[in-house]
Amino acid sequence: MKTPYRYVSNYKDGKWDDGVLTTDDKVCISECAGVLQYAQTVFEGLKAYTTVDGRIVTFRPDMNATRMLASAKRLEMPVFPEDRFIDAVNQVVSANRDYVPPYGSGATLYIRPYMFGSDAVIGVKPANEYQFRLFCTPVGPYFKEGVKPIVIRVSDFDRAAPRGTGNIKAGLNYAMSLYAIVDAHEKGFEENMYLDPGTRTYVEETGGANFLFVTDDGTVVTPLSDSILPSITRRSLCYVAENYLGLKVEHRKVRFDEVKDFAECGLCGTAAVISPVGAIYDHGNLIQFPSGMEKMGPVIQKLYDTLTGIQMGTIEAPEGWIHEIK
Ligand SMILES: *Cc1c(COP(=O)(O)O)cnc(C)c1O
């Protein structure tokens, strides 16, 4: 759904302009723009929503600002200052506040900041000019008909190269996952589980969410790898597991052959917070988690309830996690 206002700032001659809110949703760039030729673009994703007491808030926007900075550096793009990123979020959400769904609807306002090389480059080099934009759109509840665990498959494709760009939020990572996700959907699977591209023995992530496993004695385990995108949701859930639920948390390499021994599995990301995985299909072999295909496992349910409670203002948040939009 198109909303009335978006934010635009242009980078030229080594500096960002002041930035403005605009109603114009069209981008006009050279046919030779760096983004069109060499995919020089990075993005972020976060949400605004209404809390139980009627405030409009965003969740840890500083983390998105910092991650975008890291993404930009890796693609030789100028960084958009973190304070200006947060200011752009504030301005756009505030200007479109009529589009923030009410508390209890499960719907949210999705915010998409992004940046791309906008001037003509035909030799392979970074662009000289860039545009930072930020728009938003209301999105419905992720679990429309209640939470249903999904079945995913182990992919024969990779989403990132070893020592490549898997750990930044670059559009190019998604471009290379499209073929694999369309193929997975055609075969009846909801997502791809990618293994480490170097040895194909360790678990990485899906196309757009990090894995979180729970052992049968209630320890939360998340895969460690240089080519995984550091999910803010996953890092927040691990904090919640340790500090709110008193669980043990391990962030370590996870061999694919130990996945069958876990009690619960979920996918973490801004869109769903946690999406429970009921089974993983691996070349003719189906790994079924004891949590089953009807509901979230008990630990993942607790993590989900606690983090969404923190986001919605029914559970006290750690310092700095909830950012109110005035
Ligand atoms: C954005 C993204 C995630 C989820 O990150 P959040 O900060 O939790 O939304 C996970 N994996 C990939 C590849 C992503 O691009």
Could you please report the per-residue DSSP string of 137-188?
EEE--SSTTS---EEEEE-SS-SS-TTSSTTS-BHHHHHTTHHHHHHHHHTT
Which of 155, 133, 43, 146 lies closest to 84, judged by CA? 133
What lies within 8 Å, CB to CB, of 165 at 6+ separation is 74, 75, 172, 173
Question: In degrees rounded to 5, what are phi and psi of residue 41?
Answer: -155, 140
Query: What is the distance in A from the centroid of ligand 1 to the CA of 91?
Result: 24
Ligand 1 binding pocket includes 45 (Cβ within 6 Å): yes
The continuous run of DSSP H or E covering 238 comes out as: helix 232-243
Which of 229, 239, 303, 307 most suits a substitution to test ligand 1, by most atoms within 8 Å of the C-beta?
A: 229
Question: Does residue 146 register a pLDDT over 90?
Answer: no
- pLDDT, position 143: 82
What lies within 8 Å, CB to CB, of 294 at 6+ separation is 149
Q: Stretch 1-29: mean pLDDT, rounded? A: 97
% of the chain exceeding 70 in pLDDT: 100
Question: Does residue 69 register a pLDDT over 90?
Answer: yes
Residue whose CA is closest, atom 14 of ligand 1? 208
Q: What is the DSSP letter of 306?
A: H
Ligand 1 binding pocket includes 311 (Cβ within 6 Å): no
Query: What is the distance in A from the centroid of ligand 1 to the CA of 255?
Result: 21
CB 96 within 8 A of CB 136: yes
**Tens digits of per-residue pLDDT, 252-279?**
999 999 999 999 999 999 999 999 999 9
Q: How far apart are CA 147 and CA 305, in angstroms?
A: 12
Residue tagged 């030729």 (tokens):
37
Tokens of residue 168, six digits: 């930044």
248 is catalytic: no
Which atom of ligand 1 is closest in space to residue 169's alpha carbon? 15
Q: Stretch 308-314: mean pLDDT, rounded? A: 96
Which atom of ligand 1 is closest in space to residue 166's alpha carbon? 13
Tokens of residue 178, six digits: 């499209």
Residue tagged 């460690």 (tokens):
224
Helices 82-95 and 61-74: crossing angle in degrees, nearest 10, is 130
Q: What 3-state DSSP class applies to 62?
A: helix
Query: What is the distance in A from the centroid of ligand 1 to the CA of 205?
Result: 9
Q: Stretch 48-55: mean pLDDT, rounded? A: 96
Which of 9, 161, 171, 162 lies closest to 75, judged by CA? 171
Q: What 3-state DSSP class applies to 73?
A: helix
- pLDDT, position 144: 79
**Tens digits of per-residue pLDDT, 195-241?**
999 999 999 999 999 999 999 999 999 999 999 999 999 999 999 99
Query: Which position among 15, 47, 169, 253 bears the catalytic label?
Result: 169
Across the chain, mean pLDDT equals: 97
Which atom of ligand 1 is closest in space to residue 46's alpha carbon? 9
Which atom of ligand 1 is closest in space to residue 210's alpha carbon? 10
Ligand 1 binding pocket includes 209 (Cβ within 6 Å): yes
**Tens digits of per-residue pLDDT, 171-198?**
999 999 999 999 999 999 999 999 999 9
Query: What is the distance in A from the centroid of ligand 1 to the CA of 267?
Result: 10
- pLDDT, position 266: 98
Question: Does residue 131 register a pLDDT over 90?
Answer: yes
Ligand 1 binding pocket includes 270 (Cβ within 6 Å): yes
0.95 exceeded by pTM: yes
- pLDDT, position 274: 96
Which atom of ligand 1 is closest in space to residue 232's alpha carbon? 7
Ligand 1 binding pocket includes 233 (Cβ within 6 Å): yes
Ligand 1 binding pocket includes 42 (Cβ within 6 Å): no
- pLDDT, position 141: 87
Q: How far apart are CA 62 and CA 295, in angstroms?
A: 33
User: How many CB atoms lie under 10 A from the CB of residue 24?
Assistant: 10
Report the DSSP beta bridge partners of residue 276: 266
Report which of residues 143 and 326 the model is more confident about. Answer: 326
